[in-house]
């Protein structure tokens, strides 16, 4: 016995020693917040769960086609794919006339779809600004439209209760001072000016649009920015001082050692992880449960901006997208679904249809999404569990129907399944059969399961008789 205790103690000391070594690296410009943030703004962000991403810029005009040729790569990269000269690309600004732009209609479509927040590209890699910026002429003021479309956008979305966030690309193909790396004094001087420009624009954005809830940085992977760890650290602080509650993604920063998203000690920077781009974690991954994160997703394979030809890749169906949303929720993540409005300001019919169908599903089932997170129950093949801490209910969203016709549930021994009912018929109970101390079958009666559907579970702790409280932890 003594020997056993000694081994345990020695193992603990070894593990503790290794952990201490892990955080030995000196990091001055890493995380400083203390995560996960528990303030009201962050809790709201977390409860929102479902957002709309909007990519809109000059790339929407050619829509992936240049001089009659279709370029299948992401339409917002057409300038590079078709090797278009900067001056030619930049002159698209004179065609940015947007007769169909109707921000109130956009906001109504988003509201109907069930999103709680929106993230719009204020400036993408091409450098064109959707707002009238004091710091460049390459902006909305110099288009035929002239007006501040971003103000109209913020007003319309805010009016229907959707939180507005700004996407901002630090990478800037238009700006003469942009550098991919810093290899000379001249590069250093230019990039200093670029940094000042970036700071000016961001302060301008949070000042002009005080409604903004968060900033979503992109184009931050090049060496020039990776070598600017102190600057981005101070910039995040400055912006948060100006707008308390502001939420910033992990993609903004690298620490002084060039480590991105997570600092050199493995600690997340910014407020949530934004590395899940067009991909999701493994559905049984438990590591992601420990932090806030967001997955951003395109409807076709890889088109963020408007591309005229969607036949060149798989276009995800509303059901596939709903499954992604539910999976994100079940793993403590948010789901940001991208839309690429057209060059004339309209929303394409395919996107309207996606929004409508997701919205119809959300109208019935959103209780399993908003304010929900992981349930800490063993994942089963029929779909995903989500859990609402406030009402103690567990939701099971079924995507795969077992040929057995019954749905298996496994609980910790300490808990028991008291009731199961369809979200659409909460007064009626479904038949439950306990098949072992931990396992149950729910045997549904005449479920219309052409669409994914939700069963609400009431799980209680045998000892306290209370609702499920994070059963496995």
Name the residues that contact ligand H79, by CB under 6 A.
55, 74, 76, 218, 221, 277, 296, 304
Q: 120 pairs with which residues across the strands?
A: 54, 166
Task: Report the residue number, 77 or 395, with the smaller CB distance to ligand H79.
Answer: 77
CB of 200 to ligand H79, least distance (A): 22
Task: Report the residue number, 194 or 420, with the smaller CB distance to ligand H79.
Answer: 194
Helix H or strand E encompassing 434: strand 431-434
**Cα–Cα distance measured from residue 79 to residue 83, given in angstroms and rounded to the nearest whole number:** 6
CB of 420 to ligand H79, least distance (A): 39
Task: Report the residue number, 74 or 358, with the smaller CB distance to ligand H79.
Answer: 74
Task: Report the residue number, 271 or 367, with the smaller CB distance to ligand H79.
Answer: 271
CB of 112 to ligand H79, least distance (A): 24
**Cα–Cα distance measured from residue 82 to residue 77, given in angstroms and rounded to the nearest whole number:** 9
**Cα–Cα distance measured from residue 243 to residue 59, given in angstroms and rounded to the nearest whole number:** 31
Report which residue's Cβ sits closest to ligand H79. Answer: 221
Verify cis geometry, omega within 30 degrees of 0, for the bond prior to 36: yes
- The structure tokens listed for 306 are 């408007």
DSSP string, 169-233: ES--SS-TT--SS--SHHHHHHHHHHHHHHHHHHHHHHHH-TT--EEEEES--SHHHHT-HHHHH
In eight-state DSSP terms, residue 320 is H
CB of 221 to ligand H79, least distance (A): 4
Task: Report the residue number, 149 or 171, with the smaller CB distance to ligand H79.
Answer: 171
CB of 277 to ligand H79, least distance (A): 6
**Number of Cβ within a 10 Å radius of residue 207:** 11
- The structure tokens listed for 290 are 């420990």
**Cα–Cα distance measured from residue 201 to residue 346, given in angstroms and rounded to the nearest whole number:** 27
Q: What angle do CA 45, 365, 346 make, to 5 degrees?
A: 70
Task: Report the residue number, 297 or 368, with the smaller CB distance to ligand H79.
Answer: 297
Task: Report the residue number, 218 or 236, with the smaller CB distance to ligand H79.
Answer: 218
CB of 409 to ligand H79, least distance (A): 37
CB of 77 to ligand H79, least distance (A): 7
**Closest to 225 measured CA to CA, from 265, 181, 284:** 181
Task: Report the residue number, 268 or 295, with the smaller CB distance to ligand H79.
Answer: 295
Distance linking the first and last C-alpha atoms of the chain: 28
Task: Report the residue number, 239 or 296, with the smaller CB distance to ligand H79.
Answer: 296
CB of 432 to ligand H79, least distance (A): 44
**Cα–Cα distance measured from residue 303 to residue 392, given in angstroms and rounded to the nearest whole number:** 39
Q: What angle do CA 330, 360, 303 make, to 5 degrees?
A: 70
CB of 55 to ligand H79, least distance (A): 6
Task: Report the residue number, 140 or 295, with the smaller CB distance to ligand H79.
Answer: 295
CB of 245 to ligand H79, least distance (A): 23
CB of 266 to ligand H79, least distance (A): 19
CB of 76 to ligand H79, least distance (A): 5
Contacts 24+ apart (CB under 8 A), 258-264: 258/223, 258/226, 258/227, 258/229, 259/30, 260/220, 260/221, 260/226, 263/27, 263/29, 263/30, 263/31, 264/25, 264/27, 264/30
**Cα–Cα distance measured from residue 449 to residue 84, given in angstroms and rounded to the nearest whole number:** 50
Task: Report the residue number, 102 or 313, with the smaller CB distance to ligand H79.
Answer: 313
Longest dimension (CA), the chain: 83
Can you tell me which residue has the tokens 């707008």? 243
**Cα–Cα distance measured from residue 315 to residue 298, given in angstroms and rounded to the nearest whole number:** 9
Task: Report the residue number, 74 or 252, with the smaller CB distance to ligand H79.
Answer: 74
């Amino acid at each position: 016995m003594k020997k056993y205790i000694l081994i345990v103690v020695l193992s603990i000391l070894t593990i503790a020693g290794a952990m201490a070594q892990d955080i030995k690296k000196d990091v001055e410009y890493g995380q400083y917040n203390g995560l996960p943030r528990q303030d009201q703004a962050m809790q709201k962000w977390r409860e929102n769960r479902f957002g709309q991403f909007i990519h809109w810029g000059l790339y929407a005009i050619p829509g992936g086609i240049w001089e009659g040729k279709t370029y299948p790569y992401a339409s917002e990269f057409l300038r590079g794919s078709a090797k278009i000269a900067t001056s030619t690309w930049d002159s698209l600004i004179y065609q940015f006339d947007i007769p169909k732009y109707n921000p109130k209609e956009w906001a109504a479509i988003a509201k109907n779809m069930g999103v709680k927040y929106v993230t719009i590209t204020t400036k993408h890699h091409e450098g064109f600004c959707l707002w009238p910026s004091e710091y460049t002429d390459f902006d909305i003021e110099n288009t035929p439209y002239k007006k501040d479309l971003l103000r109209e956008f913020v007003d319309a979305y805010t009016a229907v209760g959707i939180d507005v966030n700004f996407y901002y690309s630090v990478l800037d193909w238009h700006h003469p001072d942009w550098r991919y790396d810093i290899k000379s004094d001249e590069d250093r001087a230019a990039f200093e000016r670029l940094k000042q420009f970036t700071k000016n624009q961001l302060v301008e954005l949070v000042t002009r649009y005080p409604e903004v809830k968060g900033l979503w940085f992109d184009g931050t992977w090049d060496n020039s920015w990776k070598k600017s760890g102190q600057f981005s650290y101070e910039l995040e602080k400055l912006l948060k001082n100006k707008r308390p509650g502001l939420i910033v993604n992990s993609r903004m920063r690298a620490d002084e050692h060039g480590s991105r998203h997570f600092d050199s000690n493995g600690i997340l920077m910014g407020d949530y992880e934004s590395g899940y781009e067009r991909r999701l974690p493994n559905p049984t991954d438990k590591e992601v449960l420990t932090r806030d994160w967001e997955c951003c997703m395109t409807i076709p394979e890889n088109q963020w901006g408007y591309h005229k030809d969607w036949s060149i890749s798989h276009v995800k169906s509303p059901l596939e997208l709903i499954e992604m949303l539910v999976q994100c929720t079940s793993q403590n993540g948010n789901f940001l679904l991208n839309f690429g409005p057209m060059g004339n300001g309209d929303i394409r019919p395919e996107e309207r249809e996606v929004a409508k169908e997701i919205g119809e599903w959300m109208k019935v089932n959103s209780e399993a999404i908003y304010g929900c997170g992981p349930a800490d129950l063993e994942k089963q093949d029929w779909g995903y569990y989500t859990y609402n801490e406030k009402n103690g209910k567990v939701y099971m969203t079924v995507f795969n129907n077992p040929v057995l016709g019954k749905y298996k549930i496994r609980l910790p021994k300490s808990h028991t399944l008291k009731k199961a009912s369809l979200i659409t018929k909460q007064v009626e109970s479904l038949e439950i059969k306990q098949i072992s101390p931990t396992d149950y079958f729910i045997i549904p009666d005449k479920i219309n399961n052409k669409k994914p559907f939700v069963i609400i579970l009431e799980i209680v702790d045998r000892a306290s008789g209370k609702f499920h409280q994070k059963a496995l932890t």
